[in-house]
Chain A
Amino acid sequence: MAAMDAGFFRRWLTLAAAAVDRDAARLTDLDSAVGDADHGSNLRRGFTAVTAALDADSPDTPGAVLQLAGRTLVSTVGGASGPLYGTLLRRTGKALGDGAEVSGEELRDALRAGVEAVARLGGGAAGDKTMLDALLPAVDALPDTAAARAAALGGAEATVPLQARKGRASYLGERSKGHMDPGAASSALLIGALDEAAAGQDGTVEGDG
């Protein structure tokens, strides 16, 4: 993939916000089965604030865009999702440094640092039925964003039979099996938006088709 500038990262987050908005009800339904039915509304509140923050303040490097987005999520989402998603974007942004453009390989390495920070913060590992189950295979598939998108979706699907070991869903024990983890589902949306941005979509609404 071509080198990516701040504009690319803004488009990525705008597309992610649109995806979260579109799928908020589905995320809340997933959370209804294993949690307390608010993942969609909490993330929507956060990503709406992210697009507003990026509009108000136009950071001019990829790293700065992701760090602003991460800080905004921490300040607006609450629950476990706020710190976890906020840390993912902040640490990824930090690892990108302050260059005006980054390569696909640099993004992959930075995202790996961000995902590792999420794992440390939440104390989770692959197979715990968390967002990591979507993010870890996605990072491995980068810099091919289409492959990363497929890997994230596959990772989210693969959480269905798992038993939750982290967060509120863990109290369900065996009863958490048979449901997709809401955090893995929203992580797949984030990686899906990255692929949309790489494919040249710009996040604006195109007609009503």
Chain B
Amino acid sequence: MRMLINAPETVVADALRGMAEAHPDLAVDVENRVVARRDAPVSGKVALVSGGGSGHEPLHGGFVGPGMLDAACPGEVFTSPVPDQMLRAASLVDGGEGVLFIVKNYTGDVLNFDMGAELADEEDIRVTRVLVEDDVAVTDSLYTAGRRGTGGTLFVEKLAGAAAEEGAPLERVTAIAQRVADASRSFGVALGAPTTPAKGGPTFDLPSDELELGIGIHGEPGRERRAVMTSAEIADYTVDVLLADRMPSGPVLALVNGMGATPLLELYGFNAEVQRALRGRGVEVARTLVGNYVTSLDMAGCSVTLCEVDDELLRLWDAPVSTAGLRWGR
């Protein structure tokens, strides 16, 4: 398998070294695997820490900077980070106003972040946690590990990050993060399997004339497989699934996200169909973001995330952000 790597064991460390070289405004601790704002801790500001397995870039390290995260903890590829990383990150960025952990709902992430929060508590760092569980492909939450955290994570990190930047206290930042998590819904489609460096091959078999509807960002199986569909058909299917789960009563933010191997040319074409489908069903889109933001290595495919917003959340979305992966307004 042809990959642009030195060795599977060094993929994460090599990427962190490269991030440090590219982004001098980030403090990248390659050995302990923490990416933080160089100006952290920011005195008087609530700090946001997130993290998870690597392979979803720019999530989460690419979202560290003013207006979004204060630190990110990258794990091995598709493997959650360890509690020591979360403790180190929290200690590094706590400006005295407390730390919010933003955690995607996967068994490993939840366990490790909870342990990290316990360790931080022992060091008298105030920590709250918000769980992102936005993937509507999971219909059976009773006999599974529950809905997975996917694209909605970007909205939680951006909007809560903007609130923290404005000086909101921990309780308020946490409440906003929870509101955004509650209002976000995602659905993903795979047109091909991702390749993990450790395995050196695709993580599942998908015949070239089929696609998987409801895919997770680690290749978790979705709701069904079908013969290939057009962009318009995929958009209609996706929008129907999202709106069946939660019909917004106000305007939404829309993230039309690439999984890693789908060209922007296709993604923009898909966005046109998503917007048509939403308009046709009476949903007003206030803002749209198109690109590769919550990826799954080199998986081909896309996901759509909708987040219902009020005036306050819309203002927080428009607020300045300055990170490697998302940057506007300053």
Interface residue ranges, A against B (CB under 8 Å): 28, 32, 36-38, 41-42, 74-84, 121-122, 163, 165-168, 170-173, 175
Please tell me if the beta carbons of B145 and A37 are within 8 angstroms of each other in the complex: no
Q: How far is the CA of A147 from the CA of B208 in the complex (A)?
A: 49
Q: How far is the CB of B156 from chain A (nearest CB, A)?
A: 22
Task: Contact check, B83 vs A74: say whether CB atoms are below 8 A apart.
Answer: yes
Interface residues in B, total, Cβ within 8 A: 32
Picked from B106, B143, B198, the residue with its CB within 8 Å of the CB of A38 is B198
Chain B at the A interface: SS class: loop
Q: CA–CA, A38 to B199, complex, Å?
A: 8
Task: Give the nearest-CB partner of A82 in chain B.
Answer: B82
Q: Is A80 in contact with B144, judged by CB distance below 8 angstroms?
A: no
Chain B hits for A170, CB < 8 A? 143-145
Residue pair A78, B82 in contact (C-beta under 8 Å): yes
Does the CB pair A75–B84 fall under 8 Å? yes
How long is the Cα–Cα vector from A37 to B55 in the complex, in angstroms? 14
B82 pairs with A168, CB closer than 8 A: no
Stretch from B171-179, B214-222, B254-262 forming part of the interface with A: B214-222
Which residues of chain A are within 8 angstroms of B48 by Cβ–Cβ distance? none
Report whether A171 and B221 are in contact in the complex, using a CB–CB cutoff of 8 Å.
Answer: yes
Q: Is there contact, CB below 8 Å, between A168 and B218?
A: yes
27 A-B residue pairings within 8 Å (CB atoms)? A28-B198, A36-B203, A37-B199, A38-B79, A38-B196, A38-B198, A75-B84, A77-B82, A78-B53, A78-B81, A78-B82, A79-B79, A79-B112, A80-B107, A80-B108, A83-B112, A121-B111, A166-B107, A167-B107, A168-B145, A170-B143, A171-B138, A171-B144, A171-B148, A171-B221, A173-B140, A173-B221
Chain A residues closer than 8 Å to B196, beta-carbon distance: 36-38
B218 and A172 form a contact (CB under 8 A): no
Q: Which residues of A contact B83 (CB under 8 A)?
A: 74-75, 83
Chain A CB within 8 A of B237 CB: no
